[in-house]
A = this chain, B = another copy of it.
Amino acid sequence: MAITLGIIGFGGMGGWHARNACKVPGITVKGAYDIDPVRVQAARDEGLVGYDTLEALLGDKEINTVLVATPNDKHPELAIAAMDAGKNCISEKPVAMTVAELDQMIEAGRRNGVIFTVHQNRRWDKDFVTAKTVIESGDLGQIFTIQSRLHGTGGTVFGWRGEVEHGGGMLFDWGVHFLDQMYYMCGYDTFTDVYCQFSRVKTEAVEDYLILTLNTNKGYRVIIEIGTFLLHDTPRWLIGGEKGTCYIQNFDAKEGAVITANAKEEDEPVIIMTSAGPTRTFSPRPAGSKLYAPLPQVDPQWTDFYANVDAAIQGKEELIVQPWQVRKVLCCIEACFTSAKTGEVVKL
């Protein structure tokens, strides 16, 4: 059984799925429903079936899988409706705004015997797969810090992503991606607690800057920092280990390196002068005493997400994005909100 997809919500992401999922062998995108008739027409203009009602889409026997790509607050209701109509369901991220809602979604999948998953597409981001490959290589030795950063320069949060009631804010928008990456990479029993803080720099209603620390039971610490307005470039990834450092500058993983120390490390550092005093600990490493290795070449294919869902529906593969995994991440997100509100570290 190949996927015949119906899309609920034909905004930016819904349209993007329509134009890209169809490139995956075995996936047919049949049509879309949106509460906005203009968008239903837009779907028709792209050669899809435009459904005027949710019932019409869910009643289409050809559709066996529904993608929910609405504002975040509508994911649970629509996903449950789709699964109760016997469809497999892919929810956009964040799957839900509370764990309680997610549990209802998971239960709907179980009782209807359908596949339920979440579009955590950034597991296929090139920068992330590169970072994961470097960390798993062991080249950095025991890691002490993993820093995942993304700073926009526009200062803008778009549309409903700026509204609390629709699940706006950076934690739900990008925090969920970066947390999902960390759990997927570091393991689902690795994180012990979280400390998370928000700022509202240029957006009134929701956090447009966040920084969080995830502590682990494996001797390192994870920092995730996301904002919409910082005008100096920072590396997307900075990973520090006892043997070396890796940085990955951007999403495309073109700029970056795995830097290790060569034998000159053992040289006695000279004392250097700053304007107000000397330092030996922070004297620069002698020229040539850092070894730069290129980043490993990886070529993740986002289309594997849909190929996997298709294979899972056919019983040929385990889902890559498992509901219990997104539940772990959503528990962490709830803890982040609690931490940001109380100013305390929250156990996971």
A residues lining the B interface (CB < 8 Å): 12-13, 16, 121-126, 142, 144-145, 150, 152-158, 161, 173-174, 193, 195, 197, 199, 201-202, 209, 211, 213, 215, 220-221, 223, 227-232, 234-235, 238, 240, 242, 244-247, 251-252, 257, 259-261, 265, 269, 271, 274-278, 280-285, 290, 300, 302, 343-345
Residue from B152, B220, B232 within 8 A of A235 (CB atoms): B232
CB-based contact B121/A276 at 8 Å: yes
Give, as a whole number of angstroms, the nearest-CB distance from A61 to chain B: 30
Given contacts A122-B277, A156-B281, A193-B343, contact A232 B247 (CB under 8 A): yes
Known: A230-B240, A244-B231. A302 touches B282 (CB 8 A): no
Q: A145-B209, A244-B231 are in contact. Are A281 and B158 (CB under 8 A)?
A: yes
- Cβ distance A273 to chain B, nearest Cβ, rounded Å: 9
Q: Which residues of B contact A13 (CB under 8 A)?
A: 278
Chain B residues lying within 8 Å of A247, measured Cβ to Cβ, are 232
Q: In the complex, what distance in Å separates the CA atom of A286 from the CA atom of B178? A: 25
| Chain B residues within 8 Å of A238, by CB | 230, 232, 234
**Copies of this chain:** 2
In the bound complex, do residue B276 and residue A124 qualify as a contact, i.e. CB atoms below 8 Å apart?
A: yes
A-B contact pairs, 21 of them (CB 8 A): A12-B278, A13-B278, A125-B276, A126-B276, A150-B282, A154-B269, A158-B280, A173-B281, A174-B281, A174-B282, A197-B221, A229-B240, A230-B238, A231-B245, A231-B285, A232-B238, A232-B259, A252-B275, A275-B302, A276-B302, A343-B345
